[in-house]
Amino acid sequence: MTKYFNKMESYKHALKYCLIFLILLPGACREKVVDNSPVDARVSQLLSRMTIDEKIGQMSQIDPSFAGGPEQLKKAVRDGRYGSILNLFGIEKVNEIQKIAVEESRLGIPLLIGRDVIHGYRTIFPIPLGMAASWNPEIVKKAYRISAIECSSQGIRWTFAPMIDITWDPRWGRIAEGCGEDPFLASTLAKAMVEGIQGDNLTDPTSVAACAKHYVGYGFSEAGRDYNTTYISEPVLRNVVLKPFKAAKDAGALTFMSGFNDLNGVPASGNEFTLRQILRSEWGFKGMVVSDWGSVTEMISHGFCANEKEAAFRALKAGVDMEMSSFTYAGNIKQLLKEGKIDQELIDQAVRNILTVKFKLGLFENPYVQPDAQKQILNPDFLEHARKVARESAVLMKNKEKALPLSPKIHSVAVIGPLADSPRDQMGTWCFDGQADNSVTPLTAIKEVLGADKVNFIKGLQYSRDINKAEFAKAISLAKQSDVILYFGGEEWILSGEGQSRGEINLPGAQDELINELSKLGKPLIVVVMAGRPLAIGNVLEKADAVIYGWHGGTMAGPALADLIFGKESPSGKLPVTFVKGSGQIPFYYYHNNTGRPASAKSWTPMDSIPVVNPQSSLGYKSFHLDYGFTPLLPFGFGLSYTTFKYADLKLSAMSMSASGSINVSASVTNTGEMDADEIIQLYIRDRVGSITRPVKELKGYKRISISQGKTVEVEFKLDAKDLEFFNGKENVIEPGEFDVWIGPSSVEGLHGEFTVQ
C-alpha cells in the first residue's frame, strides 16, 4: 500500500512539473501528430483539432520582408498565422523559424519553406529553354535532382518549378523559363523535371515539392507583353497548352500554381473551369494549388473582383488553396464564412490539401535541415553535369566549310564580344542564388585550352545594349592579328525573364554593326550567341562562318562552349522553338494549321521582285509575308553536327491500325561523317482530314542516340492510336482516315510514309 501511495505521489509530481513545463514552454507536452497511420487519417485527425484561425493561417504564405520585422514574423508563426514562408535564407534562420512552428505553436504544424529554384540553386544549369534544346529528359531530370539536393540543404522543401507554359511568342520574356513551343517535347521534359525535383522518395530530406506553373495559358499573353490578356480556344487549350501540365500531374507533382493572366476573360486564380473542372474533376489532382505572387488581389485590377473580399471568395471557390504574399484570405475568410458565402467544407478541403503535402514530405517527422547537408553545394560532380547539360543544349546553326571545330594547336584567336567574360549574364534569368564568382566564362575556358598568350581579348562593347563604338578600332586591330575571330554576343540576363518582354528581338545595341565590321576582315568568324530567347539573327547567319546558339548556359557555360569550339565533342542540340526572321513574323510555330491557300517555293513573290508597274494577279494570292516569305529563319527541331547523318529505309509494321491499335515506324540512321556524335531522331505525323482542321505536322516521338563514325543504327518508334487523339471542340476523339508519318532530323526534313486508321 505504501508503494502504491509513493507511486501516486511520484505521478502527482510528474504531472505537476509537466504542467509547469507546459506553461513555461507551450507545446512541450503537446500530443504529437506523428504516427504510422495513413496520411489521410493523420490529416483528418489534425484538421479536427484546428481552429478557424489556424486553418486560415495554413492557407497563407508570407515573404519575410512583408511580415513587419523578424520578431513580428516569429510571433505570427507562433500564433499559427502562416503555413508557408518563401524567400527565407540560410540554415540557421530556417531552423529557427521552423523550431518556433513545431515546438511553440499550439499544434506544432511545420512550415513549408519555398523558393524559386528554376534552373539551379548554386550550380546553375542552362535556362530551361536551353535545357529543352538538349532533347534529353534524363540529363534534365538529373539537373533538377541536383537543384533539389542543393536547395534542400538550406531548408527549402518547395520550389516554384517547373515552369511549363507553352508559348508561340519569343517577345515574351518568360519564354526563357519554359520548354518552347511544342506540347509533346514540353510534356516529356515536364515529367523529367518533376521527377528530378521530388526524387524517388518524398520523405527523403532532399525531396522538394514541385509546383507546375503557371496554370494556365500565361505563355499566350497578347503581343508577348508579360501579365497580359490571353484568348485561347478550347481545342488549342486542350490540344496544346494543357498537355505539359497533365504530364506534370501524372508525374506526381505535389502542387500547382495559378497564373497572373486572365484566360478568355476569367483570371487564372479565379477560374473554376480550369482549376475545379479540369484539374480536380477531370484529372483527379489531389495536391495543393497556390496563387502566383499577388495574383488574387490582382483580380481587382483585372476588373473581375470589386474588392479584396470578393477576390478571396472567387479564388477560394475556384480552388486556390494557399494565397502567396497577399492577405485577402487572412482578412476575409472568417467574414465570408460568417455570412454563409462559403462553407466550412471549402476551407477544410483547402487545408487538407496543404497538410497532405506537408505529411507526404515527412516534415512532421523531420522539420529541420542538417548543417552537413550544405557540403553538397557546388559538388564537382554537379559542376561536371552542368557542363554536360550546357554542352548538349548548344545548337550549331551554321558551319560553312567546316569552320568548326578549331584545332587546340591554333596559333591565336581573337575573343571579342560583351558576353565573352560576363559571369552573371551567362547564368541567365531567375537565378537568385547563383553567384557570378562560381561562373566559368568562355574567355577563361578558352585560355585554359590554348594558353593566355594565344588569346587576344577585348569586349568591343561593354554590355549587350551598348552603342558606344569606341572600342571597335581596337577590336578590329586585335582580330587582324589573330587566325580566327570568336565573337560572344547576345542578351544580358536582365533582358529576358519575368517582365522583360521585347518588341524587337534582334541583337541589341551595336552588336550587328561590330559583327559586320569583323566579317570584312577575311578571317574565319565564329559567333556564339548567349541569350534568353530565340533572337532574329538573320544578319549573324549571313555574315558568320559558323554560329553556335549557347542560350544562357549557366555556371559552366564557358567550359561547355570550349568543348564544342575545339571539338572535344560535337554539338548535338536541336531547336525547341521556331526562330523567326523578325518580330513581324510572330507567331510562327511548326504545327500550325494549313490555310486554303498555302504558300510554296513556287507560289510566293519576294517583295523586291515585284515590278513597279504590276498587275494585281502577279502576287500569287497565297499565305506569306512579302518581306519575310513563308518560312522561318530556322525551323523547330533544327540543329547541325560536326558529322553528317543519312536517314534511310523507312518501314511501317502495318499500313493501317484500329482505333485501339498501334504500328511501329522505323528507319536506319548512319553516321556518314568523321566524328562520333549524338543525333536527335524525330517522329512526326499528320492527320490529313479531321472534324476540325489539323496541324501540318505534330511531334509524336524522339530519341537521342549516340552513333559512332561509320555506324548505322535502327531506330523504331511505337505509334499508338491514342497518340492520334485530339479534342475537336466537343470531346476527345481518335478519328479514322489517312495519316502521314515522317522520321527525320527536324520538322522540315525526313523520310515519309503513310498509314490509315480504320
| Residue 600 counted as domain residue | no
**pLDDT classification of 7: cutoffs 50, 70, 90:** very low
The end-to-end CA distance of the chain, in Å, is 90
The per-residue pLDDT for range 93-136, each reduced to its tens digit, is 999 999 999 999 999 999 999 999 999 999 999 999 999 999 99
Entry pTM: 0.94
Residue 587 has pLDDT above 90, yes or no: yes
Cell of 37: 497511420
Please tell me the distance from the alpha carbon of residue 692 to that of residue 737, in angstroms, as a whole number.
13
Domain endpoint, select from 344, 360, 376: 360
Please name the residues in contact with 66: beta carbons below 8 A apart, sequence gap of 6 or more: 325
Residue 345 belongs to a domain with what CATH number?
Answer: 3.20.20.300
CA distance 281 to 260: 22
In terms of residue numbers, what domain contains 750? 645-757
Do residues 412 and 456 make contact, with C-beta atoms less than 8 angstroms apart? yes
CATH code (residue 676): 2.60.40.10
Q: What is the pLDDT of residue 12?
A: 42
Domain boundary among 318, 342, 360: 360
Assess if residue 706 is contained within a domain: yes
Question: What is the DSSP secondary-structure string of 561-620?
Answer: HHHHHTTSS------SSPBPSSGGG-S--TTPBPPSSB--TTT---GGGS-SS--GGGG-
Q: Kindly name the residue from 116, 292, 421, 563 that is annotated as catalytic.
A: 292
- Would 557 be classed as within a structural domain? no
On whether residue 509 sits in a domain, the answer given is no
Cα–Cα distances (Å) from 39 to 43, 112, 437, in that order, read 6, 17, 44
Is 407 inside any structural domain? Answer: no
Q: Is the model's pLDDT at 5 over the cut of 90?
A: no
Percent of the chain with pLDDT over 70: 95
Q: Is it the case that residue 3 has pLDDT exceeding 50?
A: no
Strands, sheet with 662-671, edge to edge from the N-terminal-most edge strand: 645-652, 662-671, 712-720
Domain-located, residue 387: no
Out of 7-16, 17-26, 307-316, 342-351, least confident range = 17-26
- For residue 292, indicate whether it is catalytic: yes
- Examine the fold and report which residue of 360, 387, 412 is the final residue of a domain before the chain moves on: 360
Indicate the number of domains in the chain. Answer: 2
152-186 residue pLDDT tens: 999 999 999 999 999 999 999 999 999 999 999 99
The residue ranges of DSSP E strands in 68-139, in sequence order, are 84-86, 112-115
d(CA 718, CA 700): 10
Instruction: Tell me: pLDDT of 333 over 50.
Output: yes
Q: Are strands 726-727 and 732-733 parallel, antiparallel or unpaired?
A: antiparallel
- For residue 18, pLDDT over 70 is answered with no
Cβ atoms of residues 191 and 250 within 8 Å = yes
Q: Is residue 126 part of a domain?
A: no
Rounded Cα distance, 176 and 166, in Å: 11
Confirm whether 318 is domain-assigned. yes
Q: Quick one: which H or E segment has residue 248?
A: helix 243-250
pLDDT at 35: 58
